[in-house]
Amino acid sequence: MKIFAIVQYIVLAVAAIPFIYYLLAMYSTARFFGEAKRHAAPNTDFLPPISCLKPIKGLDEDAYENYASFCRQDYPEYEIVFCVDPGDPALPLLEKLIKEFPDRKIRLLFGSGRDAINDKVGRLYRLTNEAAYDIFVITDGDVRVGPDYLRTIVSVFRDPKVGAATCLYVSTKEINLVQELQTVGMMSDFFAPVMVAWQLDDLKVTFGQTIATTRKAVQSYGGYQVLEDRPADDVYAGRLVAEQGYEVKLLPYVVHSVADFQTMKDLLYKRTRWMTVQRLMRPWGHLGLIFTWGLPWALVAVAARPTPAVAAAYLGGYAFCRIVITWMIGVWGMKQKHLWKKMPLIPLWDAMAFVMWIASFGRTTIRWRGVDYFLREGRLVAARKASS
C-alpha cells in the first residue's frame, strides 16, 4: 500500500507539470500585450518605401476585398506585386483591381519561371528578385488588413538588427463548427506557445499571414531559392533570418485571414500534417509537448487518485487555466469580442489536438500535392526516389 501511495503521488506530481506551462503562458501573454499597449504610438516618421509581395494561386473567398485592403493603405510610397499563372481564376479580379485603383503601383508577374516542389516559394523567388524596394511585406492572397497595416509593420525596421517581423491573425468569419474549432485552437493552443517562445527570447519563426523582411536579410541566407524544397516555408523564412544574426519580431497587430478548413476531415488531415512537419523539424521539442497537454494529464490524475478533491484540483484547474489563457490572448490581447461563446469547445479542441499529436508519431512521410515526401535535413525528398 505504501508503494502504491508513492506511485500515486508521483503521478499527481507529473500531471501537475502542464500547470507550470499554463502559468508561464499567462505571464508571457500579460507581458507581451502589456508592453504592446504601453508602446502603442502611431508611426508617423519612419516611412521607407515598401514592396508588398503576393504569390497568388486560385481564388480565395472574398479575394477582391482582401486584395483591395492593400490598396487602401495610409502609406506614402509602396507597390503591390502579384505573381500569378496565366489563366488563373484570380486574374480577372487582379485586372479589375488595377482599373479601380489607378493611383496605386500594382504590377502583375506571370509564373515563377522555376520548377520548384513548393511553387509558392518559386513565386516568392521571382517576387523578391523583381521587387522595386528593399523592404518586403509578404502575404498570402487570403489576408485582409486595415489601413494602418504598413505603417505599423514597417516601424520595427528602425532597428537595423531586425531582419524579419510577423504578426497575429484571426479568421475573417466562421460559418461552421469546424471553423469555430479552428479559431478556438488558434487562440488557446497555437498562440500560447508563441507567447512563451517570445518570453524566452526563442521566437525565430514567421507566419505566412505576414512575413515582413528586407532584401538584405533574404540575401544573407541565400534567397528564397533555398526554400523551394522545404515545407512550412514561412517558418523557415524566420528561422533562416535568425540564423544570420538578425532579430525576428512578433507584432501585436492583428490581420484577418479566410478560414481554410471547410470539413472536419480537412481540419484533421492538415493539422496532422502540420504536426508531422513540426516533429520532423524539431523532434525533441515536439516530444516535449507531452508536458503541455493539460486535459489528458488531468484525466490521468483523476484515474490515479479518484477523489473529489483531485478531480476539482486537476479538472477544475485545467478548465480555469485554459479559459484564462484563451481570454487573455483572444479577448484582452486580440480584441475578439465573440470568443466567449466558443470557449466550451476548448476541451474538444484539446482532445482532438492531443490525438493529432499522437498520430504525428506514426507518419514518416508528408503528402504534398499528391506526392509522398520524406523530410531529410529539413528538405523534401520524394519517397519513391529516396527508396530506390
Residues 57, 175: one domain?
yes
43 assigned to some structural domain? yes
pTM exceeding 0.85: yes
Residue 222 sits in a domain whose CATH number is 3.90.550.10
> Residue 285's closest CA among 168, 202, 169?
202
As a three-state string, the secondary structure of 231-282 is CCHHHHHHHHHHHCCCEEEEEEEEEEECCCCCCHHHHHHHHHHHHHHHHHHC
Same domain (yes/no): 308, 340: yes
DSSP letter for each residue of 21-55: HHHHHHHHHHHHHHHHHHT-----S----EEEEEE
Query: In this structure, are 314 and 197 located in the same domain?
Result: no
Average model confidence (pLDDT) across the chain? 90
Residue 46 belongs to a domain: yes
Indicate whether 339 and 201 sit together in one domain.
Answer: no
**Same structural domain for residues 90 and 55?**
yes
Report yes or no on 371 lying in a domain. no
Residue 368: its pLDDT value, please?
63
Confidence grade of residue 384 (pLDDT, cut at 50, 70, 90): low
Q: What's the CA gap between 252 and 77, in Å, rounded?
A: 24
The reply to whether 238 and 165 lie within a common domain is yes
Average pLDDT on 246-263 reads 89
Q: Is residue 271 in a domain?
A: no
Q: What is the DSSP letter of 207?
A: B
Reference 145, options 168, 123, 117; nearest CA is 168
What pLDDT is attached to residue 277? 81
Report the distance separating Cα 302 and Cα 375, nearest Å. Answer: 39
Lowest mean pLDDT among 228-232, 249-253, 284-288, 343-347: 228-232
Determine the pLDDT at residue 40: 76
Structural domain harbouring 82: 33-263
CA dist 48 and 154 (Å) reads: 8
Residues 240, 298 share a domain: no
Cell 476531415 found at: 265
Q: DSSP assignment, residue 200?
A: T
Confidence of residue 388 (pLDDT cuts 50, 70, 90): very low
24 and 39 co-located in one domain: no
Residue 1: what pLDDT? 63
Q: Are residues 232 and 210 in the same domain?
A: yes
Residues 213 and 239 in one domain: yes
Q: What is the mean pLDDT of residues 268-278?
A: 85
286 and 313 in a common domain: yes
Q: Are residues 14 and 38 in the same domain?
A: no
- Domain count of the chain? 2
- The confidence score (pLDDT) of residue 27 equals 97
DSSP label at residue 77: S
Kindly tell me if the per-residue pLDDT of 328 is higher than 50: yes
In a domain, 382, yes or no: no
